[in-house]
């Protein structure tokens, strides 16, 4: 059994494929590719593959991670090309390699997004005041139900800049992985509660999956 890891992008119309449907989509992709995928053992045997982090519906990504096993060695480029030949529109395998790090090494995810407003100057001031405040409290769904959490200590702003007359572009890093997962939507919810200025968030894209020291996971 050969343990492999693929990095793939999910964009355009594919960003509306839910995580549940993504599993069905990938199952069909493997079957159509003809690759000798490894099947689980047991009474209900099925092809084994898994995704490192679920991606929110409507978000694009350039760094999704797919782990799978094959029964025989095949060149990485050939695996990539055979999968891409039967991938749906908007999804593309970028690279295939060995599974080097364990999934538990994932600690953060990086996101880009744009915030648009007719009063971008006033909105940027409110964003800065929100991020510089003592705390940012939001309600988050957990296994124990809805809880109020302070997300301020976990928001890492990488870049932020005004673009044009109505757009503020931001890149942030948030906790991700087996211990804690924060979605950019928590920031947007907190901003709506904080400001009276109307705004719209567009072009949300996951651009990195990182270890605790900010090294790329793959």
From 131, 190, 117, 119, select the one nearest 160 (Cα to Cα).
131
Rounded (10°) angle between helices 76-84 and 19-33: 110
Q: Are 176 and 51 in contact (CB under 8 A)?
A: no
pLDDT tens per residue, range 20-70: 999 999 999 999 999 999 988 877 788 899 999 999 999 999 999 999 999
pLDDT tens per residue, range 88-122: 999 999 999 999 999 999 999 999 999 999 999 99
Question: Using CA atoms in the order 122, 125, 127, 133, what is the torsion angle rounded to 10 degrees?
Answer: -140
User: What mean pLDDT comes out for the span 189-218?
Assistant: 96
Q: How far apart are CA 85 and CA 92, in angstroms?
A: 9
Tell me how far CA of residue 205 lies from CA of 55, 86, 159, in angstroms.
10, 24, 14
Which runs of E-coded beta strand occur in 13-144? 49-51, 60-70, 91-98, 108-116, 137-142
The CA R_g of the chain, rounded to the nearest whole Å, is 20
Name which residue leads in pLDDT, 141 or 215. Answer: 215
Q: How far apart are CA 160 and CA 173, in angstroms?
A: 12
Half-sphere exposure of 79 (CA within 13 A, CB side): 26
The percent of residues above 90 in pLDDT, for the chain, comes to 89
Judged against a pLDDT cut of 80, whether residue 142 lies above it is answered with no
From 6, 107, 112, 96, select the one nearest 61 (Cα to Cα).
112
pTM of the shown model: 0.93
């Amino acid at each position: 059994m050969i343990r492999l890891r693929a990095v793939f992008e999910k964009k355009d119309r594919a960003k509306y494929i839910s995580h549940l449907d993504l599993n069905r989509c990938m199952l069909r992709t493997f079957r159509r590719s003809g690759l000798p995928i490894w099947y689980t053992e047991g009474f209900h045997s099925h092809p084994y593959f898994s995704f490192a982090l679920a991606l929110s519906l409507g978000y694009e990504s350039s760094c999704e991670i797919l782990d799978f096993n094959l029964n025989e060695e095949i060149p990485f480029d050939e695996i990539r090309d055979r999968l891409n030949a039967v991938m749906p529109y908007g999804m593309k395998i970028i690279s295939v390699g060995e599974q080097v790090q364990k999934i538990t090494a994932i600690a953060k995810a990086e996101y880009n997004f744009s915030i648009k407003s007719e009063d971008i100057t006033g909105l940027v001031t409110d964003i800065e005041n929100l991020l510089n405040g003592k705390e940012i409290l939001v309600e988050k769904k957990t296994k124990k139900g809805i809880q109020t959490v302070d997300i301020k200590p976990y928001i890492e702003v990488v870049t932020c800049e005004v673009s044009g007359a109505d757009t503020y572009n931001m890149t942030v890093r948030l906790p991700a992985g087996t211990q804690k997962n924060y979605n950019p939507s928590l920031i947007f919810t907190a901003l709506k509660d904080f400001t009276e200025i109307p705004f719209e968030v567009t072009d949300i894209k996951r651009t990195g999956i990182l270890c605790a020291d900010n090294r790329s996971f793959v």
